[in-house]
A = this chain, B = another copy of it.
Amino acid sequence: MVSSKEVAKHAGVSQSTVSRVMNDPSKVSKVARESVLRAIEELNYRPNSVARSLVNKKTKSIALISGPLHNPFFVETTTSIINFAKEYGYHTNVHFENFGDNMSLYKDVLSHKFDGLILSSIFYDDPIFEELKKLDVPFVMFNRKHQSGGHYVEIDNLAAGKLAAEHLLKLGHRDIAWIGGDLRTTTFHGRYKGFLDEITEQGIRLPEHFIQVNDTTQKEVHRAIESMLASKKRPTAIFAATDSIAIFILDYLLEKGYSVPDDISVIGMDNINWSSHHSFQLTTVGHDGPKNLGQLAIEHLMDLMNSKEKQEKINITVQPKVFVRKTTKEL
């Protein structure tokens, strides 16, 4: 690779001058500038971003720790984040949550330098929070939050859980199942609690096998629904904690010959784009705004990184509403 030093020699100036031409051409005389530009052209010089980062202490890149892309929610947020970051001249290093062991993932992520971090992977009591604080790197959580606060962007999961329960109760359902993911995340915990509070308030108690907490892959969701339907006591409606889970459930039910919503109602959560597809027409609960949570997160991260004054705590909780479509019906 050709360096600024070689360009300098070729142009008959000092390396400093080459550097100036790259960063602030007005600081250099016309003759020198043109000579340098010619040399750059001829040698096909490209400044080494690594060396540049070393002195600037800026990498112009951010890290994203996302949930898995088999959940379309994260497809939408990841797209928003990468595109927005790009507008600001940042590259995005993408990582996926590692369900077994997030700590080793964090270690890996932190082994490279970056200027800011967005993560959706955090547990409510995750020790990574303190470590990030210590590292003094700007970060914002989206979709989930941490007990210690920090900057986060979320949906009101408790309210969302309540809304879903209300919707099903209003339709006359009493035997309602829940299928969701790890309750150590605020997302699932909040949605579950909201749901359960509402159900309990109506004096309903659910059999144990109506509550399935699992990994959120297609395979695991199919296993969960299968074991649930194998029992003599079956639910008339299923509350899936994410649209992604709901869509996996639809797949299973249709494959097995069930009709939705005639045999069984299904409600999801997140209002992802796919849920409105006319092959699904999934009833769901979610946010109704032009910006997804990832978009909100990256916008605020940019603020954090690029304004010198100490920022206010970013604590955004958007409100959910029910999107009634065709997968739920009166009992």
Whether the Cβ atoms of A50 and B54 lie closer than 8 Å is: yes
**CA A255 to CA B280, docked complex, whole Å:** 11
Interface residues of A (CB under 8 A from B): 44, 46, 48-51, 53-54, 59-61, 68-70, 75, 78-79, 82-83, 86, 91-96, 108-113, 134-135, 247, 250-251, 254-255, 273, 277-280
Q: Say how far A110's CB is from chain B's closest CB, in angstroms.
A: 7
CA distance in complex: A76, B68 (Å): 11
By beta carbon, the residue of chain B nearest A44 is B134
Q: Which residues of B contact A49 (CB under 8 A)?
A: 111-113
Given the interface pairs A50-B59, A78-B69, A255-B278, the reply to whether A108 lies near B86 with Cβ below 8 Å is yes
Nearest chain-B residue to A53 (Cβ)?
B50
- Contact partner of A48 (CB less than 8 A), chosen from B95, B113, B277, is B113
A281 nearest in chain B by CB position: B254
Pick the contact of A113: B50, B75, B79, B273 (CB < 8 A).
Answer: B50
- Complexed CA–CA distance, A129 and B164 (Å): 52
Question: Nearest chain-B residue to A277 (Cβ)?
Answer: B251
Asked if A83 and B96 sit within 8 Å, CB to CB, the answer is yes
